[in-house]
Structure 1
C-alpha cells in the first residue's frame, strides 16, 4: 500500500518558480491541493491547484496538452469527483506531473500564463458531496461533554469499541467565507414545562477534520482495514456548527437533527493524502485497561502510520474586535493526533456492513479536542456549558457564538526534515436569524 511513503514531490529542497510559493505558510510546492474556483464572468467553475497566492488552472493545462497522461479527463471536469475517484497510482502520477510543471524553470514560459490570482477567484465546495457522515473520534471532546451530563461515567460503554457516527446533511455544506444564518428550532428552557420555538441561544462551533473519499466500494462489500487508505483521497477543515439547546431537546432517541443540519463550513482546498505522507505518525497507544479494537479494525500498519501530525487552531473575531482593529482571539490549539480512532478505522467501520462509499463523500472526524483547556475544540467545553464565559481582549465575554462573530480554523502539518504545509482557512460569520 505504501500510503505513508514520500517521494521527490516532498523534497524540502524543491522550490517553485512561482515566487509567492516560497515560504508560503499553506501552499508551498510540497502541498498542491485541489480546489474548485471561478472568476468574475465565468459561467462554470473549474478545477485548480493552489500554489502560493496563485491557482493553476487545470482545465487550461489540459487544453494546452500538459496533463494528457496524468488524469486529464478528470481535470477538465466542473467538480473534483472524477479526480478523487482516480486510482492511487494515477493520483500520484498527476501530482508528480503538476509538481514538475511548477518547479522546473523550463516549464515557466508555458505554464505561467495558466496561473490565476487567487485573490481574484471565488472558491467553491470542491466536489458534489453525495453523503456526509460525522464521526465522534475525539475522545477528549467526548469525555469533556459527557462529564457535563454524566460526571461519573462520561463515556458510554460502546465508545472504546466502535467508531461512533451519524449521517449528516450534505446539502447544507458550504465553503469557507459563506455566512451562517442563526437557525431557529425547538428548545426546552430548563425552567419551562413545554418547549418553545425560536433562534438558538447556544450556537457553537466544532473543530473537525473532513475526510474526502476517493475510490468507492460496491454495495454489499466491505473495505478491509489493510486497504482503507486507498479509499481516502484527501482532507479539509470542517466546522460542524451546532445548536446545543436544540440538540439537548431533540437528540433522544435518534440523535442530532435540526441542531446540526443547518450549515457546515469546510475549507475549500483538498489537501491530498499524498501531500500528507510525510506527516503520518504512529497512533497513540490506548491507555492501560482500554480494550483492543476488534480484529476487523486492527492493522499494525495503520497503528504505525495512521495518525496525522497536524496542529489545529480555532479563533474568534467579534464585530467589535473588527471595528477596533483587534486581532482575532485564539480559542484553542491542539494536535489532531488526539483522535482515538484513525481515519482508516473510520472508513473500514463505515463500510463494514456493506455500506457503499462513493467518490466525493465527506466524513467528519467529530470535534477534535486535545488534553487541557487550551485544546478544547468547542465553546461547550471552553465555557463548561455556559457556566464559565470566556473573557475577550475587548472586555466582551462569550459562552456561545453571538451574531456578528466570525469563527476561523487553521491547520498546519509539521514534521522534522520536511516543509510544513497548511489547509487554508475555514471561516464563517454568523448572521442573525431570519425574521
Structure 2
C-alpha cells in the first residue's frame, strides 16, 4: 500500500530516530491493537511484556495522527476538570483511583523512555500553569493543595515567582507540577514501536482496518484484504472516524489545533522567558502556551474560528501573539506550521468503552495527550488481560455516538469566539 507523504512538522524535520513497520500481517494473534499512536503502542508494549502475542495495525504511517502532531507537552493532570470535581462526580474510590492514575502519567512516560532507552529529548523540568486573573490564582492555589495532599509534587507560585519564570507581568500566580515536562513526540513514538518489537510484538503501517466483526469466541478484522483472527481487540484510534475507527471517534468532539515552531531564539531571550525550560499553558479561555525544543525554537499553538486557510493564517497569528505576550523585540520567523486533531469527551474525562466481549476502546485525553495516553494504554492492556471492569481506574462506559457529529467543528468555532470575548472582558475588569 502506497502511503501519502507525511505532514511537514517540526518533529519530522528534527527526528533522530526512525521506524519501518513489519510487512507480513499475522493470520492469528492474541490481541490486535488498532491504531499506532501513544495509546496503542503503550498498550501493545504492556501486553507483549506480559507474554501475549500482539500486533499493532496503523492505517497510515506512525506519527500521522495526534501522537506525532502535538507540541510535546507532558502534562500529568486534566485540562478542563478540577480534581475535586472528579471526586464529586465519580466518588472517592473511583475518582481517587482516576486521579492517582492521571497524576502519575508524566512519571510513566519518562520512566518508559528511561527503561527502553528512548532518545526523545525527554526533559522532566516541571510544568507551569499560570493564572491570568486573581480568581484563577485562588483556584490554582486550592488545586495545588489538593494535589499536594494526594502526594504529588505540586506547589503554588506567587506573582513574582511566575514573572521570574516567564518574564511576563500579567500573571497573578501559577501551579507548578514538578513531574511534568517535554519530549520529542515523534522520537518517543518511534521508540515505543521499537520497544513493542523487542518484546515480541509486531507493528504494521499502511494497514487500515476496513471491518471488524465478532467471529466465534473472538474477532475478525479485515486489513488490506486479509482476515486477521484475534482473541481480543483494542481500538486506539482517537478522533479518526473511517473504517473501524468510527466506533470510537464519533463518541467525541474533534478539536483541530494548529502548532508552529519559530526560528531558534537567542540565549538572552531564552533565559528571560524560560530560565528553567519549563513548558507553560495558562488559564485563559483562549489559552496561551509555549515551550522550547532542544535548539531553542519556540513552539506554540492555537485554534481557528474560521477553518478556511487556517494553517497559513494561524502561523502568522500565533507568531504575533508570541511577540506580544513575551515582549519579543520582533515577530519571530515561523520555520514550520502544522496541525492535528484532539478528541474531547462531553464530560472532559477519559473513558474506556466496551464494543463486545474482549473488545475495548480508550479515548478522551482532552488536550493532555502524551501523559494521558500512557495511562489509557496501560488501562486498556489490563482490560485485555481480563481485569474486571470495576477495578479499572478509568470508567468503563457504553459508547454513545454524539448526535450530528459532523457539525461539531462548528460548535468548536463558536466556543473559540466566545472564549476570546471572555478573555477580553476579563482583561478589562
TM tier relative to shorter chain: under 0.3
User: How does the TM-score come out when normalised to structure 2?
Assistant: 0.25
User: How does the TM-score come out when normalised to structure 1?
Assistant: 0.25
| Structure with the higher fraction of residues in helix conformation | 2
